[in-house]
Amino acid sequence: MFGKNKSKAWRQLESVYKHFRKTEMKDLFAQDKLRGERYSEQLDTMLVDYSKNRFDDNVLKALFELARERGLKEKIDDMFSGKKINATENRAVLHIALRNRGNTPIYVDGRDVMPKINATLEKMKDFSEAVRLGRFTGYTGKKLTNIVNIGIGGSDLGPFMACEALRYYWAKDIKCWFISNIDGTGCAEVLNKIDPETTLFIVASKTFTTIETLTNARTCRKWLVDALGEHAVAKHFIALSTNKEEVEKFGINPDNMFEFWDFVGGRYSMWSAIGMIIAIAVGYKNFERMLEGAYAMDRHFAETELEHNIPVILALIGIWYNNFYGIHRHCVVPYDQYLQYLPAYLQQLDMESNGKSVTLDNKYVDYATGPVLFGGAGTNVQHSFFQLLHQGTEVVPIDLIVPAISHNEIGSHQQILLANVLAQGEALMRGKTEAETAEELEAAGKPQTEINRMKKFKSFSGNRPSTTIVLKKIDPYGLGMLVAMYEHKIYSQGVIWNINSFDQFGVELGKKLALKILPELQGTAHNVEHDSSTSNLISYINKIRK
């Protein structure tokens, strides 16, 4: 494809890059007064302005040619048709089926998966509404108002992010809690704040064997049993799993087990039964609206030509930076407190999907794949890492996400927020030259010695890329569109890089070694062979803990 064996489109992009690389975005804006309008795409109430990125028509033409050469449109069709594009695990990839609001048949191994998906969604609807309305109660008959999700990775990050993003829509008498980390502090802090009689635990583990999740679940089970007795378990625990035998052993009523399937990866699963806590918190109708927003982006991704396809455009711009400019970082900054956990969710979605170094042809890559992703909520992060974004030696492309309308319009808060996000994009692109800084200091009455001393410190190189994504509001529909957009962007990049975006073998080795070390820390194994560093650390920790 590329690397040592460069394709025609890849070589063309290298040639384009040599001629374009020193081009300044502010010059492109000066030459094209309609650049902002020309390089924006709208879907429903979402506007994506990608004009403040380093490209021109020639660059885009070459990038779209690369996408066609890699067969991106055909690979998109493969996903939607149920082909087993997760080649290393021989699985279809059908998170898109979970929000298939058109209910068109989608086949895996000759069977339409939609009837089972629809049945599970209907079961979710019935149960979530029963909890919200007090028809399903705890062991003592009290309404369940503390909902605790016990999971890790995709069984935690997605539901947690979505619940926080949609906090405005929570039922007034319901509180959501999340336990994920094996560190006992997370579990203890939640249990200290809730009442056994009004608590529902949701145990999210496909196999019902995940060590972090099951350790936390057993601790919560003991806490509940100590307070209410063994028979209370069935009224206070439900399972999101496929392992009926282990679920029953735990004491959970199998009628309260909600299944999901191996064609849905953990980080893509919040649209499934894994989203149960979302449905309980915001109501099933709002959960459905989230599915509908994602479905709208799915149809856009599947049906829109590449040149106007939002996820494809964002993916190709990322390829341009990663593989030609050598920029291996990406930043996401939502300017809305409700979206404060979106960057953490996208870290997993992107870095677990495309943090790969072997191609689908079973060869090691010799080019960059997935970037390091980080971020945080604006305007807070303007006072932390934005210093580096504006004046550091590392160029970092950034996504700026903002709702035009806030759920909490108080005074001039939202106008100030909007002014900040728009100013950041303009400042990153435009910068400020030494000459402009000198003029500014002179106008402020500074002496020439002060001007000469300070003009470099107060200048900005500019030409730093950003994409601005404007939503009408942070509502279920908009959140669904936004998350699906990033899902499809990541898949598109995986196709270009010829890697599998849907396995995650990289998380396994450390887990296996942890199981080997655990007996040494528990005192049931001794003198196990390790490197000298690990052996010394085990010895020191055991000594401290005696």
Residues involved in catalysis: 352, 383, 511
In DSSP terms, which residues pair with 143 in a beta bridge? 137
CB atoms within 10 A of CB 8: 10
Check the CA dihedral 164-168-170-174 and report its sign.
positive
- Residue of 207, 206, 201, 180 lying closest to 273 (CA atoms): 206
Look up residue 542 and give its two tokens: 């055991």
- Phi-psi sector, 283: left (phi>0), alpha (psi -120 to 50), beta: left
∠ at Cα 367 (362, 369), nearest 5°? 80
Per-residue H/E/C for 63-125 = HHHHHHHCCHHHHHHHHHCCCCCECCCCECCCHHHHCCCCCCCCEECCEECHHHHHHHHHHHH
Identity of the residue numbered 393: T
∠ at Cα 100 (95, 104), nearest 5°? 120
Residue 503: C-alpha distances to residues 58, 64, 80, 82, 315 (Å): 35, 26, 18, 16, 19
Q: What is the largest CA-CA distance in the chain?
A: 82
- Residue 317 exposure: Cα atoms within 13 Å on the Cβ side: 26
CB atoms within 10 A of CB 198: 18
Identity of the residue numbered 103: N
> Percent helix, strand and coil across the chain, each rounded to 5?
55, 10, 35
- Residue of 2, 59, 1 lying closest to 25 (CA atoms): 59
In sequence order, which residues have a C-beta less than 8 Å from that of residue 350 and are 6 or more positions away?
Answer: 330, 370, 371, 373, 486, 490
Look up residue 512 and give its two tokens: 């296996």
Pairing of strands 111-112, 107-108: antiparallel
In DSSP terms, which residues pair with 47 in a beta bridge? 42, 470
Spatial separation of the C-alpha atoms in residues 9 and 364, rounded to whole Å: 21
- Residue of 136, 143, 122 lying closest to 287 (CA atoms): 122
- Residue of 50, 109, 160, 12 lying closest to 425 (CA atoms): 50
Report which secondary-structure segment, H or E, holds 224. helix 211-228
For residue 110, the Cα-to-chain-centroid distance in whole angstroms is 31
Tracing tokens 């890492």 back to the chain, one arrives at 385
